[in-house]
């Protein structure tokens, strides 16, 4: 059994996706009548119409979990006992 590799990086501000003109892409996120930017690091997004101050939300937190054997990306909400890629038995304890 091997401990899952967990990394957490915190950035002061989001890194908003840009359009071809180099400006923040206000349509990086779209759903029905809602649209807004999307962070390229953490994928955070918001509707610029419903939350016009959303650009100031922070910090940007990026967490990753990976198999210690093959470095396959894992999802903690799945709470898997084994890596789906290599079969390594996983230990999720901190």
Mark out the alpha helices in the chain (DSSP H runs): none
**Quick one: 20 exposed, middle or buried, by C-beta within 10 A (0-12, 13-18, 19+)?**
exposed
The predicted model scores a pTM of 0.77
pLDDT at position 49 is 95
What is the mean predicted confidence (pLDDT) over 12-21?
96
Residues 66/72, Cβ–Cβ less than 8 Å: yes
Q: pLDDT tens digit string along 31-84?
A: 999 999 999 999 999 999 999 999 888 899 999 999 999 999 999 888 789 999
Quote the number of domains for the chain: 1
Range(s) of the domain holding residue 44 = 2-91
């Amino acid at each position: 059994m091997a401990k899952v590799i967990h990394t957490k990086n915190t950035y002061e501000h989001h890194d908003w996706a840009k359009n071809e003109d180099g400006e923040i892409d206000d349509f990086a996120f779209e759903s029905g009548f809602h649209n807004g930017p999307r962070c390229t690091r953490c994928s955070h997004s918001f509707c610029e119409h419903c939350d016009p101050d959303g650009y100031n939300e922070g910090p940007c937190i990026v967490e990753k979990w990976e198999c210690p054997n093959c470095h396959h990306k894992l999802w903690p909400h799945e709470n898997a006992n084994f890596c789906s890629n290599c079969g390594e038995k996983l230990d999720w304890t901190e």
